[in-house]
């Protein structure tokens, strides 16, 4: 079974400050890892994903995440926060080795990012 | 190319009524996933369907919930005899299939049970 833990249900940063959202996972096989963003009253949008290869993954809107196998982590970062980054962020994992489950995601409970002036 | 369309956006039902949630996948997508998001929680997988087939329903409650994805028309998530605990946001996602395919999410249906 897979699971995802997101530390901190709420994170508040000042505009221009570093954004760091934490995600740790548990998986018995090398997983695929994802970060999604959810703006109010909208569906989830994919920010970035890790499948194989380079462990530092760059996504949209200046976000990036690094897969660290030894730490079972996939933390999301952005050097400088924008007001428009305020949203809910979800980390997710999938098992690419089971037939039909590559797109079946297990989500964390989410981190709400607040950006202040 | 329209995105994943879900309707209605908001659905209010009284306890004991039936709720029908619809999801039209993106054009060319034959794989549909339903997720449920309870307040203050992440999304939980419910069911994975391909055209006319249920592939994985391991996340569906054993009673009152059913899903279909007919050859023609949208995917339907049906909840019979709703209870207050069914109140949640229900999201549909679609993909064209194949390993490593990206999921595209709809805007969800917010079900409120009075």
> Which residues of A fall within a CB distance of 8 Å from B56?
100-101, 104
Q: How far is CA B97 from CA A97, B15, B28, B56, in A?
A: 15, 37, 10, 14
**Within an 8 Å CB–CB cutoff, is residue B55 touching chain A?**
yes
Confidence of residue A11 (pLDDT cuts 50, 70, 90): very high
Task: Tell whether the torsion through CA atoms of B53, B58, B60 and B65 is positive or negative.
Answer: positive
**Within an 8 Å CB–CB cutoff, is residue A41 touching chain B?**
yes
pLDDT value for A102:
56
In order along its 114 residues, chain B shows pLDDT tens digits of 568 999 999 999 999 999 999 999 999 888 999 999 988 778 899 999 998 899 889 999 999 999 999 999 999 999 999 999 999 999 999 988 765 567 889 999 999 999
pLDDT value for A88:
93
Using one digit for the tens of pLDDT, what is the confidence trace for A23-81?
Answer: 999 987 778 899 999 998 788 899 999 988 889 999 999 999 999 999 999 999 999 99
Confidence of residue A103 (pLDDT cuts 50, 70, 90): low
Span A107-113, mean pLDDT?
Answer: 94
**Within an 8 Å CB–CB cutoff, is residue B25 touching chain A?**
no
**What does the alpha-carbon distance between residue A102 and residue A93 come to, in Å, rounded to a whole number?**
9
The pairing of beta strand A106-107 with beta strand B19-24: unpaired
DSSP state of A69: G
**Within an 8 Å CB–CB cutoff, is residue B13 touching chain A?**
no
Partner-chain contact B100 A107, CB within 8 Å = no
The pairing of beta strand B88-95 with beta strand A111-116: unpaired
Q: How far is CA A5 from CA A25, A40, A67, A103, B53, in A?
A: 6, 22, 15, 19, 32
Collapse the DSSP code of A60 into the 3-class scheme (helix H, G, I; strand E, B; otherwise coil) and give the result: helix
Count CB neighbours of A95 within 10 A: 18
Tally C-beta pairs within 8 A across A and B: 62
Distance, CA of B97 to chain centre: 17
């Amino acid at each position: 079974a897979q699971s995802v833990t997101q530390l901190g249900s709420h994170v508040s940063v000042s505009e221009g400050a570093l954004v760091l959202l934490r995600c740790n996972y548990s998986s018995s096989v090398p997983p695929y890892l994802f970060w999604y963003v959810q703006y109010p009253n909208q569906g989830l949008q994919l920010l970035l994903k890790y499948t194989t290869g380079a462990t530092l993954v760059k996504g949209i809107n200046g976000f990036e995440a690094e897969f660290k196998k030894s730490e079972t982590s996939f933390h999301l970062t952005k050097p400088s926060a924008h007001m428009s980054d305020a949203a809910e962020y979800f980390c997710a994992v999938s098992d690419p080795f089971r037939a039909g489950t590559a797109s079946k995601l297990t989500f964390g409970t989410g981190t709400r990012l607040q950006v202040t002036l | 190319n329209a995105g994943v369309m879900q309707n209605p956006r908001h659905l209010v039902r009284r306890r004991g009524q039936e709720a029908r949630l619809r999801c039209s996948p993106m054009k060319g997508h034959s794989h549909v996933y339903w997720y449920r998001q309870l307040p203050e929680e992440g999304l939980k997988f419910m069911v994975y369907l391909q055209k006319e087939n249920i592939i994985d329903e391991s996340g569906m409650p054993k009673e009152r919930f059913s899903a279909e994805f007919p050859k023609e028309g949208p995917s339907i998530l049906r909840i019979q005899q709703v209870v207050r605990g069914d109140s949640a946001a229900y999201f549909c996602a679609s993909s064209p299939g194949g390993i490593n395919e990206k999921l595209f999410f709809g805007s969800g249906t917010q079900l409120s049970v009075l």
